[in-house]
Amino acid sequence: MTRLQESESEAKADGETASDSESRVEAATLPPSADDTPEVLNRALSNLSSRWKNWWVRGILTLAMIAFFFIIIYLGPMVLMMIVMCVQIKCFHEIITIGYNVYHSYDLPWFRTLSWYFLLCVNYFFYGETVTDYFFTLVQREEPLRILSKYHRFISFTLYLTGFCMFVLSLVKKHYRLQFYMFGWTHVTLLIVVTQSHLVIHNLFEGMIWFIVPISCVICNDIMAYMFGFFFGRTPLIKLSPKKTWEGFIGGFFATVVFGLLLSYVMSGYRCFVCPVEYNNDTNSFTVDCEPSGLFRLQEYNIPGVIQSIIGWKTVRMYPFQIHSIALSTFASLIGPFGGFFASGFKRAFKIKDFANTIPGHGGIMDRFDCQYLMATFVNVYIASFIRGPNPSKLVQQFLTLRPDQQLHIFNTLKSHLTDKGMLTAATEDK
pLDDT at 7: 43
How far, in Å, CA of 296 to CA of 52, rounded?
43
Q: pTM here?
A: 0.81
212-265 tens-digit pLDDT: 999 999 999 998 998 899 889 889 998 888 888 999 999 999 999 999 999 999
What are the pLDDT digits (tens) for 299-343? 998 888 788 778 788 888 999 999 999 999 999 999 999 988 898
Rounded Cα distance between 80 and 203, Å, is: 12
SS3 state at 392: helix
* Pair 256, 332: CB distance under 8 Å: yes
Distance CA 266, CA 48 (A): 39
Residues in the chain, pLDDT under 50: 1-30, 427
Q: How far apart are CA 385 and CA 389, in angstroms?
A: 9
Q: Determine which helix (DSSP H) or strand (DSSP E) holds 300, and give its type and residue range.
A: strand 299-302
Neighbours of 285 (CB within 10 A): 10
Task: For residue 245, report the phi and psi dihedrals to the nearest 5 degrees.
Answer: -125, 160
Look at residue 12 in the predicted model and tell me its pLDDT.
47
At how many degrees (to 10) do helices 176-205 and 208-232 cross?
Answer: 110
Please enumerate in sequence order all residues whose Cβ is within 8 A of that of 285, keeping only pairs 6 or more positions apart, or say none: 279
The SS3 call for residue 163 is helix
Give the pLDDT confidence score for residue 40 in this predicted structure.
67
pLDDT of residue 363: 79
**For residues 303 and 316, what is the distance between their CA atoms, to the nearest angstrom?**
7
Beta carbons within 10 angstroms of residue 12's beta carbon: 11
The residue type of 278 is E
Q: What's the confidence (pLDDT) of residue 399?
A: 79
pLDDT of residue 252: 94
